[in-house]
Chains A and B, each alone.
Chain A
Amino acid sequence: MLRIEHYSKTYPGGKKAVDDLTLHVRPGEIYGFIGHNGAGKTTTLRAVAGVMDFTEGTITIDGHDIKKDPVGAKRVTAFLPDNPDLYEFMKGIDYLNFIADLYGIPADQRTKDIAKFGDAFELTGNLGSPIGSYSHGMRQKLALISAFIRRPRLLILDEPFVGLDPAASHLMKGYLAELCQSGSAVFFSTHVLEVAEKLCHQIAIIKDGRLVKCGPTEQLVGDSSLENVFLELEGEK
């Protein structure tokens, strides 16, 4: 589903944020991306989402090269940044319809999905209000709903659990699993290692822009815990 081959990103001034990263996410997989602050996680996720240009390598989503066919790749993708800023001048329902229009989602399908996810995240009643009046958590939920109604082949999430209440986090984990069962894939970054350990089929650990370890969660963790593995690799234990 997602193939990252020898991806590198160098910022103006010569600082290499990510160096020669190769990583594959298969359909039906939830892939966790772990690393300390500034390791290159967000830079990678933004490049995969086609939001940011990169220096070297190729990124392919469902057969679409993000550089050569960005529109094709984005059509099957949904991306949520760590702090999703949404148009404050729009009402919640207007934003969902705006996104649905950009992705060509038919009217009956969007109505059904907005009702399903809106009710689940307890946001339907608020959809008639301007986003400017939403709390941080409500915006996070609206952004999640806007991602789920696209029924993406690849869902890219940057720190998705930050700002969500426990009920919404639980709900989201269920929907991520449901999405993967339908053949889609999820690629997300997190600092919540317990969640990554329980939720992810595969995990990659990145340090200073380089991939230090990746593989199936059980193999990577073994008899230890993900926290121990992470701290050992980071040289803090």
Chain B
Amino acid sequence: MKKFFALLKVSVKSMLLSSTNARGRSKKKAVSGVGAVVLIAFLGLYLSGLYSSMLMGVLAPVHMEVLVFIFMGMAALVGGLMFTTFAVKGVVFGGKDNDLLLSMPVSSTMLMASRVSAIYLENLLFAFFVLVPAGAVCAFMTQSGVGHSLLFWVRLIVAVLALPLLDTALSVLLGALVAFLSAKVSRGALGQNIVMALYMVAVFWFVFHLNGMIEGLAANAAGVKQSLSWAAPLLWMGDGIMGDWGFLLAFAACCIVPFVLVVFGLGRVYRQAVTAFAARSARNDYRLSAQSASGQNKALLAKEAKRFFGTPMYMWNSGTGLIMLVAAGVAALVMKDDLREFIAMMGGDFPAALAVAVVMGFSLSMCAIAAPSISLEGKYLWILREAPVGEGTLIWIKAGFQLLLSVPCTIIAGVCLASALQISLWEGTVLLAAALLFNVAHAAFGMLVGLAFPKLDAVNETVIIKQSLATTLGIFVPMAAVGACALLYWLGGMLAPWAAPALPVALLVVLAVVCAAVLARRGPAMLQAL
């Protein structure tokens, strides 16, 4: 066990350090890492608390609080899978220290268990942020007294500890499949992208399905619960949290058994799996033909595109916001009658433009393409630094690549949403201008945090894209800016009708100008100093 904990310590330390640029014991750097975790925790708790309270408002009056835990459990499971499946390829099977650790006198099962435990901790964090707020909401909003006893919290904690075991087992299996495809399919990135696209389609289907169920919740909560029989373990979890110890034990067993089977099953073949997944032999059948030339900027942009589209982890984490944005626009057009009916129900004062702006702002915030791009250079940074290209060009190409992807998506989604919701031409133009300003500010800010908090020695791409401080700030600070814009819209509306859109647009102009100016003035020196 001593060896296991030593290995686990290495994995956990690596995970914790991955969110900072720390290389020593600098208190300032450690604080910045803790700050990132606190920020994620706060936002996780806030978002989960919000959705739980919305559901609880409908379900508590009909004494069906159990459904909140079932839905939140599903959210934790699906979200955890989405976050960790691709991390498994890097953390469990593709760690740079695999050669070192496999050469040491420890069993491969123990090594596998320590790696998987790191994934479990990440899932545990997510399950905690999703289920605990649901419990707190239940305790405050329940009309049947559920949530007021200590035993309720004990059962909830058991569920919080158990659910990530199931999540981890599933993500390790899926991650192994992704690693296998990467190694065996000649165009590994394409194979992984197809897997992830199918996965996203399933998630979108699940979300739409869920929305349909939520609509009929108040009228037929019991029926909805019955229709969820395909998710039996989560039903057991819900019933267990609500007081049935038998169901809770059944749920725990459902989580523990797959986890143990995965750890011991894959652990027995861990060495073989790592070897097989790493083995990629170069083909020897290339025939050189006449090559074509292009300019520096085009070559640098093409390189950014190759990295983005050729690294599924990067594309699906940093590009999800854009996919959601376009999907929201297209879905709004398809379901425009339902949406207009909904807006009519909300009354004439419903700020449709603001709602669209917030949806677009949050989706765009998730598109942190520039923020991790400097850290992703990592060991390759020497190539750009020895090239006859100015530092200014390099950073603007990186920021420009984000804009190249985000601006067309913004225009498509903006036009679709404005048209579906019958937003006036004037409001639509202001909305689009605001969204474009947000794009500029976001890309420039992303580059700045990427330069300020580089993680050039990361163990793998996963820790940079998913856990680095630059990515965290590159997502959550823009989200806070969206919140500030919404607040200014509300405050402006109290002053004068014209001030409602003018104040947030003014803020976005300032943010775009300041971020772009600071990047232009300080960026090259920051890159040179790395």
Residues of A within 8 A of B (CB): 49-51, 53, 70-72, 74-75, 77-79, 81, 84-87, 89-90, 92-94, 97-108, 110-111, 114-115, 118, 124-130, 132-135, 138
Is B201 in the interface zone, CB < 8 Å from A?
A: no
Q: Which of A53, A71, A100, A125 has a CB less than 8 Å from the CB of B390?
A: A71
A contact residues around B385 at 8 Å (CB) = 49-51
Cα-based distance from A110 to B299 in the complex (angstroms) = 15
Are A100 and B293 in touch, CB under 8 angstroms?
yes
Are A89 and B311 in touch, CB under 8 angstroms?
yes
Is B425 in the interface zone, CB < 8 Å from A?
A: no
Cα-based distance from A81 to B291 in the complex (angstroms) = 27
A contact residues around B300 at 8 Å (CB) = 102
A contact residues around B495 at 8 Å (CB) = none
Cα-based distance from A98 to B296 in the complex (angstroms) = 8
Is B245 in the interface zone, CB < 8 Å from A?
A: no
Are B386 and A50 in touch, CB under 8 angstroms?
yes
In the assembled complex, the CB of A140 is this many whole angstroms from the nearest CB of chain B, namely 14
A sample of 14 cross-chain residue pairs with beta-carbon separation below 8 angstroms, ordered by A number, consists of A53-B528, A87-B306, A87-B380, A89-B306, A89-B310, A90-B303, A93-B288, A97-B292, A102-B299, A102-B389, A103-B388, A127-B288, A128-B285, A135-B282
A contact residues around B296 at 8 Å (CB) = 101-102, 104
Q: Which of A81, A94, A133 has a CB less than 8 Å from the CB of B306?
A: A94
Cα-based distance from A104 to B280 in the complex (angstroms) = 32
- Residues 297-313 (chain B) with a chain A CB within 8 angstroms: 298-300, 302-303, 306-307, 310-311
Are B383 and A87 in touch, CB under 8 angstroms?
yes
Are B293 and A128 in touch, CB under 8 angstroms?
no
A contact residues around B379 at 8 Å (CB) = 85
Is B382 in the interface zone, CB < 8 Å from A?
A: yes
Cα-based distance from A94 to B303 in the complex (angstroms) = 9
B contact residues around A51 at 8 Å (CB) = 382, 385-386
Are B293 and A105 in touch, CB under 8 angstroms?
yes
Tally of B interface residues using CB under 8 Å: 39
Residue of B nearest to A95 (CB): B383
A contact residues around B26 at 8 Å (CB) = none
Is B347 in the interface zone, CB < 8 Å from A?
A: no
B contact residues around A92 at 8 Å (CB) = 286
Are B386 and A107 in touch, CB under 8 angstroms?
no
In the assembled complex, the CB of A199 is this many whole angstroms from the nearest CB of chain B, namely 23
Is B189 in the interface zone, CB < 8 Å from A?
A: yes
Are A97 and B291 in touch, CB under 8 angstroms?
yes
- Residues 303-330 (chain B) with a chain A CB within 8 angstroms: 303, 306-307, 310-311
Are B388 and A102 in touch, CB under 8 angstroms?
yes
Q: Which of A75, A87, A132 has a CB less than 8 Å from the CB of B388?
A: A75
Is B284 in the interface zone, CB < 8 Å from A?
A: yes
Are A129 and B282 in touch, CB under 8 angstroms?
yes
Are B284 and A110 in touch, CB under 8 angstroms?
no
Are B303 and A98 in touch, CB under 8 angstroms?
yes
Are B290 and A127 in touch, CB under 8 angstroms?
no
Residue of A nearest to B314 (CB): A89
Cα-based distance from A105 to B294 in the complex (angstroms) = 9
In the assembled complex, the CB of A183 is this many whole angstroms from the nearest CB of chain B, namely 20
Cα-based distance from A100 to B387 in the complex (angstroms) = 10
B contact residues around A90 at 8 Å (CB) = 303, 306
A contact residues around B303 at 8 Å (CB) = 87, 90, 98
Task: Given A98-B299, A114-B291, A132-B280, decide whether A125 and B286 contact each other with a Cβ distance below 8 A.
Answer: yes
Is B295 in the interface zone, CB < 8 Å from A?
A: yes
Most buried by A among B282, B295, B307: B282
Is B229 in the interface zone, CB < 8 Å from A?
A: no
Q: Which of B282, B285, B389 has a CB less than 8 Å from the CB of A138?
A: B282
- Residues 268-290 (chain B) with a chain A CB within 8 angstroms: 280-290
Are A53 and B529 in touch, CB under 8 angstroms?
yes
Are A126 and B284 in touch, CB under 8 angstroms?
yes
Task: Given A71-B388, A89-B307, A94-B306, decide whether A107 and B285 contact each other with a Cβ distance below 8 A.
Answer: no
Extra A-B contacts (11), CB below 8 Å, given A85-B382, A94-B306: A51-B385, A72-B388, A77-B386, A86-B383, A87-B383, A99-B383, A101-B298, A104-B293, A107-B290, A118-B288, A138-B282
Are A101 and B293 in touch, CB under 8 angstroms?
yes
Contact with A along B366-410 (1 / 0, CB 8 A): 000000000000011011011111100000000000000000000
B contact residues around A133 at 8 Å (CB) = 280-282
Q: Which of A104, A106, A114, A126 has a CB less than 8 Å from the CB of B283?
A: A126
A contact residues around B291 at 8 Å (CB) = 93, 97, 100, 107, 110-111, 114
B contact residues around A77 at 8 Å (CB) = 386
A contact residues around B388 at 8 Å (CB) = 71-72, 74-75, 102-103
B contact residues around A74 at 8 Å (CB) = 386-389
Are A111 and B386 in touch, CB under 8 angstroms?
no
In the assembled complex, the CB of B318 is this many whole angstroms from the nearest CB of chain A, namely 15
Q: Which of A81, A97, A102, A106 has a CB less than 8 Å from the CB of B382?
A: A81
Cα-based distance from A108 to B291 in the complex (angstroms) = 7
In the assembled complex, the CB of B317 is this many whole angstroms from the nearest CB of chain A, namely 16
Cα-based distance from A87 to B461 in the complex (angstroms) = 13
B contact residues around A81 at 8 Å (CB) = 382
Are A111 and B299 in touch, CB under 8 angstroms?
no
Cα-based distance from A161 to B338 in the complex (angstroms) = 69
Residue of A nearest to B282 (CB): A129
A contact residues around B299 at 8 Å (CB) = 97-98, 101-102
Contact with A along B12-43 (1 / 0, CB 8 A): 00000000000000000000000000000000
A contact residues around B280 at 8 Å (CB) = 130, 132-133
Cα-based distance from A107 to B284 in the complex (angstroms) = 23
